[in-house]
C-alpha cells in the first residue's frame, strides 16, 4: 500500500491522536510518527511540573534514555509545544515527549502548526496540477486561482477517462473542447498566446524586480599564490622582518648567535679531526 491509496492504516492504540495521524500523513511517515506515539505510552517519569498562566512545563525522564532529561513546554491556548530533544526541528514531526505532554493535557489531535505539508497525503495533489507550488486547504475554503486550475484539470482528466473507451464520446469531447478553445482565443484577442511580461510572471508565480540589488561577483584570478608565504618565525614576530644581530663568537652582524654560529661549528670540526 502506498500513500496514493485512500485507505487509512491500522492503528495500534485507541488514542485519538494516532487516528488523526493516520488520516493526515502518508503511510511511510505515519509509521514513523506511530512509533513516537506508541513510545510515549511507556513508563515516563515526571520529575518536575510547572504551570504559569497558560504555559505548562514538565521535565520527564525517558526509560529508553536514562542519561538525559527532557523539558517540554506547552501553551494550552495556542497548543504551541517545544521539547529539548529538538526532534521536530531536525526531522519535521513531533517527538514522543511532546505526544506524552499533549496526551496528559487532553489534546487528541496533532496541532496543525506542526503538521508539515510535505508529509501529508494531499501533498501529492500538487503534482497533478498545471501550476505547481500551492496545496489548497479544504478547511480554509480558499478559492484561489491555482485551486480553480486544479479543479479544471481534474475535471478534464475525468472527462477523458470516462470517454476513452467510446470513439463517439471522444469525438464529441474533442468538438466541445475545440469550440471552447476558439471562444477563449477570441476573448484573448485572437491569437490565444499571451507571451507578454504579465503572462510570464503569472505563469512563474513571481514578478520581475524593478531594481537589481544582487550582481555577479567581479572576476578574479585566484590561481596560484599572490603573496610570499610567511615562515613561522615571521609569524611570531607579527609579520615583521628579522633584525640582524651581532654574533658574540664571530662578531658579525648576522641572523645567528653564538650557539648556532657556522664558524663555531667549523672550528669544532677541525678540533675533532686533529
- If asked whether residues 116 and 21 sit together in one domain, one would say yes
- If asked whether residues 117 and 142 sit together in one domain, one would say no
The answer on pLDDT for 86 being more than 80 is yes
- DSSP one-letter string for 151-183: HHHHHHHHHHHHHTT-HHHHHHHHHHHHHHHHH
Which among 19-28, 191-200, 216-225 has the top mean pLDDT? 19-28
Range of the domain at 260: 242-273
**Helical axes 96-104 vs 27-39, angle rounded to 10°:** 60
pLDDT band for position 1 (50/70/90)?
very low
- If asked whether residues 35 and 72 sit together in one domain, one would say yes
Global pTM reads 0.47
Total number of domains constituting the chain: 3
Element (H, E) at 188: none
pLDDT band for position 95 (50/70/90)?
very high
pLDDT band for position 220 (50/70/90)?
confident
Tell me what pLDDT residue 133 has.
Answer: 44
Asked if the structure places residue 177 within a domain, the reply is yes
Mean pLDDT of 225-249: 73
Higher pLDDT, 78 or 239: 78
Q: pLDDT tens across 52-80, in order?
A: 888 999 999 888 777 889 999 999 988 99
Report how far residue 114's alpha carbon sits from residue 95's, in angstroms, rounded to the nearest whole number: 11
The answer on pLDDT for 190 being more than 60 is no
Q: pLDDT tens across 99-145, in order?
A: 999 999 989 899 988 988 788 877 655 445 444 444 445 444 445 67
In the chain, the largest separation of any two C-alpha atoms, in whole Å, equals 120
Higher pLDDT, 220 or 258: 258
Asked if the structure places residue 218 within a domain, the reply is no
Query: What is the grid cell recorded at 68?
Result: 538525559
The answer on pLDDT for 5 being more than 60 is no
pLDDT band for position 42 (50/70/90)?
low
- If asked whether residues 40 and 113 sit together in one domain, one would say yes
Q: pLDDT tens across 135-179, in order?
A: 445 444 445 676 677 678 778 877 887 887 888 888 898 999 899
Distances 93 to 24, 39, 198, 221, 273 between C-alpha atoms, Å: 12, 14, 39, 46, 82
Report how far residue 81's alpha carbon sits from residue 99's, in angstroms, rounded to the nearest whole number: 10
The answer on pLDDT for 40 being more than 90 is no
- If asked whether residues 117 and 141 sit together in one domain, one would say no
Report how far residue 133's alpha carbon sits from residue 153's, in angstroms, rounded to the nearest whole number: 15
- If asked whether residues 104 and 170 sit together in one domain, one would say no
Candidates 108, 80, 104; CA nearest to 15 is 108
Report how far residue 88's alpha carbon sits from residue 38's, in angstroms, rounded to the nearest whole number: 17
Structure letter (DSSP) for residue 242: P
Query: What is the grid cell recorded at 117?
Result: 505539508
Distances 172 to 157, 158, 163, 165, 169 between C-alpha atoms, Å: 15, 15, 9, 13, 5
From 121, 146, 176, give the residue that closes a domain: 121
At 267, give phi and psi (nearest 5°): -65, -40
Q: Which range, of 30-39, 155-164, 189-198, averages the lowest pLDDT? A: 189-198
Amino acid at each position: 500500500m502506498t500513500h496514493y491509496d485512500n485507505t487509512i492504516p491500522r492503528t495500534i492504540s485507541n488514542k485519538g491522536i494516532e487516528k488523526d495521524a493516520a488520516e493526515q500523513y502518508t503511510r511511510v511517515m505515519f509509521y514513523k510518527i506511530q512509533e513516537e506515539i506508541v513510545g510515549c505510552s511507556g513508563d515516563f517519569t515526571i520529575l518536575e511540573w510547572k504551570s504559569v498562566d497558560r504555559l505548562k512545563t514538565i521535565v520527564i525522564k525517558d526509560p529508553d534514555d536514562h542519561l538525559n532529561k527532557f523539558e517540554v513546554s506547552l501553551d494550552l491556548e495556542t497548543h504551541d509545544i517545544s521539547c529539548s530533544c529538538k526532534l521536530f526541528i531536525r526531522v519535521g514531526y513531533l517527538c514522543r515527549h511532546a505526544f506524552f505532554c499533549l496526551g496528559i493535557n487532553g489534546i487528541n489531535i496533532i496541532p496543525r502548526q506542526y503538521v508539515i505539508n510535505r508529509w501529508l497525503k494531499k501533498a501529492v495533489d500538487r503534482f497533478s496540477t498545471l501550476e505547481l507550488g500551492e496545496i489548497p486547504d479544504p478547511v480554509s475554503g480558499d478559492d484561489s486561482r491555482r485551486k480553480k486550475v486544479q479543479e479544471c484539470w481534474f475535471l478534464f482528466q475525468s472527462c477523458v477517462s470516462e470517454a476513452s473507451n467510446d470513439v463517439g464520446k471522444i469525438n464529441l469531447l474533442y468538438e466541445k473542447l475545440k469550440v471552447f478553445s476558439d471562444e477563449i482565443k477570441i476573448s484573448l484577442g485572437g491569437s490565444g498566446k499571451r507571451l507578454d511580461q504579465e503572462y510570464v510572471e503569472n505563469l512563474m508565480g513571481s514578478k520581475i524586480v524593478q531594481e537589481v540589488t544582487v550582481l555577479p561577483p567581479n572576476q578574479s584570478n585566484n590561481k596560484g599564490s599572490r603573496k610570499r608565504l610567511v615562515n613561522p618565525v615571521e609569524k611570531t614576530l607579527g609579520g615583521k622582518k628579522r633584525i640582524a644581530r651581532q654574533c658574540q663568537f664571530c662578531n658579525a652582524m648576522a641572523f645567528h648567535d653564538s650557539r648556532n654560529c657556522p664558524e663555531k661549528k667549523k672550528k669544532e670540526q677541525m678540533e675533532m679531526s686533529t
